[in-house]
Structure 1
């Protein structure tokens, strides 16, 4: 096994304890790079693996991380491995590649927004070889990932939660142990249903206000600072009102995927989803009309809703 790294000195107060826990990280995208940077900055030995973009890997090596040449090598080098990927198909693929190197007692932590059914299936499969699995999806934005103030909702046994909580605390300001494996992902889907439902409402309200002659600035002046104001509203409106196209860097394609997972969960639970289906359809329209690119973010939904209503 070959690891590439730059030597670093662990903080004196934490090094002796943390040196016993070797952390791996797979998925150095918009959220993952900032999370991984916090892990290594706060004293944990970190091993990463490159996928397509080498820039985050080089940055983390400069901060003190090591690079594994394969996912199996990363698994052999680590006790706890975090995954921050696009969804369940990617998680399943990466787990299969890690599996040959996993030792009994290792922990895999899926920070992606994944299908809870797949999460439980992976957990059962890994338990057969003595490997633990937990789901710890995130809330907030890449800005909070770098600041170490993300929200995290965890599905894990109490014993596994106790092992991973100190590492999660390097990049999360709020950590809630929801329940067993899969419950973190269930809670994340509920969380995203609420936020993406807001996005669909905001986009439609903006279109309607334009149609009836109420400027967006006037709409915002009533909502901002009132009872219906919130952080998500502000990042959404920073795009619609101020033209900041990167105010909330969460893609339309990921939003669409999350609402499909939510709909599947509701179908299994035999719950009517009038509102969730309406929100999903708003994102479906965007996806079908060119909004499926890597730089098409959730606040851009206002553009597609405007187009649907004949607004330039």
Structure 2
């Protein structure tokens, strides 16, 4: 790898666009590949990025490739397809997977890339799209220490905090533990808001009491911004992705032979929301689904105060 590595980026969604923009503004040559939405691609091309024809071409051209995709099947296809990264991989290539993924899949892909002389790094994200645009995400990194030191200057373009968790796969395990907490909050807060409304404590009053207490937190704040203020964009993370991540948590627990009643219970709400046509809704809207199951309309009750 040269002193100024060529960087690739695949997956230009809410998080990926900001990350790639900051890499380009950090002075690196950048190759990108997105989907049908041309807006983020054209935005980055206007900054001097080049568009790759395939992941294979990107692997043949770049020294470090970032992935920021929705799930492990997408990651596996990008890596293993006939025109995928493994087909073009050469010794020294580093693939940084910033997605939230199945750790077992991550470890398998790492072994396949290692056989080609490359290095797979899991670096899932903490933060929001606003922080992605500002270059202030956090990265939970799984890789060898020497690999981290090689890629750290690139990570520093988009991350305000970089922490090595352990070997390959440990970053994705840590991210799943975080999402297990947050997405369980989503199910818990939905139940609490609905139960409160049914017994005469409207959501606005609930927020006024809980937010400043020791039980308040950032997730509660953004969640209740929808429940009370009806801001549908307060927390841009889809119910489909939530169900996927909790599925990975359950798989991880099964692999570790750990009983996981809470994760299984939380997943049921997200699965029901998907089954009833709400997979694209953001997580705070789960509260409406739980309300409907209990014959309650939170939108009518949210602004009321005692």
What TM-score, normalized by structure 2, do the two folds share?
Answer: 0.93
Equivalent residue of 1:112, what SS?
Answer: coil
Residue 41 (structure 1) aligned with residue 28 (structure 2): no
Deviation string 1:185-235 (CA, Å, 9 cap, x unpaired) is 101100100011111111111101110111111111001122111111111
Where does residue 162 of structure 2 map in the other structure? 175
Where does residue 227 of structure 2 map in the other structure? 240
Q: Do 2:187 and 2:266's aligned partners in 1 also have CA atoms closer than 8 Å? A: yes
CA distance in 2, matches of 1:166, 1:211: 53
Q: Do 1:18 and 1:45's aligned partners in 2 also have CA atoms closer than 8 Å? A: no
Where does residue 14 of structure 1 map in the other structure? none
Deviating 4+ runs (over 4 angstroms) = none
Q: 1:19 to 1:44 in 2, by over 3 A?
A: farther
Equivalent residue of 2:274, what SS?
Answer: helix
Runs of 5+ unmatched residues, structure 2: 298-306
Q: Do 1:85 and 1:112's aligned partners in 2 also have CA atoms closer than 8 Å? A: yes
Equivalent residue of 2:292, what SS?
Answer: helix
Where does residue 130 of structure 1 map in the other structure? 117
Structure 2 matches for 1:100-249, cutoff 5 A? 100-249=87-236
Structure 2 matches for 1:52-71, cutoff 5 A? 52-71=36-55
Q: 1:18 to 1:31 in 2, by over 3 A?
A: farther
CA distance in 2, matches of 1:52, 1:98: 20
Where does residue 270 of structure 1 map in the other structure? 257
Where does residue 291 of structure 2 map in the other structure? 306
Equivalent residue of 1:170, what SS?
Answer: helix
Equivalent residue of 2:157, what SS?
Answer: coil
Deviation at 1:95, TM superposition (A): 0.9
Residue 92 (structure 1) aligned with residue 79 (structure 2): no
Equivalent residue of 2:278, what SS?
Answer: coil
Q: RMSD in angstroms over aligned alpha carbons?
A: 1.3
Deviation at 1:286, TM superposition (A): 1.1
Q: Do 2:89 and 2:113's aligned partners in 1 also have CA atoms closer than 8 Å? A: no
Deviation at 1:20, TM superposition (A): 2.0
Match of 1:75 among 39, 44, 59: 59
Q: Do 2:110 and 2:168's aligned partners in 1 also have CA atoms closer than 8 Å? A: yes
Equivalent residue of 2:213, what SS?
Answer: coil
Deviation string 1:129-184 (CA, Å, 9 cap, x unpaired) is 10110100011211111111112100001111111222111111121100000000
CA distance in 1, matches of 2:290, 2:152: 41
What is the aligned length?
294
CA distance in 1, matches of 2:159, 2:14: 15
CA distance in 2, matches of 1:306, 1:194: 21
What TM-score, normalized by structure 1, do the two folds share?
Answer: 0.92
Q: More deviation in 205-214 or 19-28?
A: 19-28
Where does residue 8 of structure 1 map in the other structure? none
CA distance in 1, matches of 2:190, 2:139: 27
Deviation string 1:234-289 (CA, Å, 9 cap, x unpaired) is 11111111111011111100010000000010011111111111111121121111
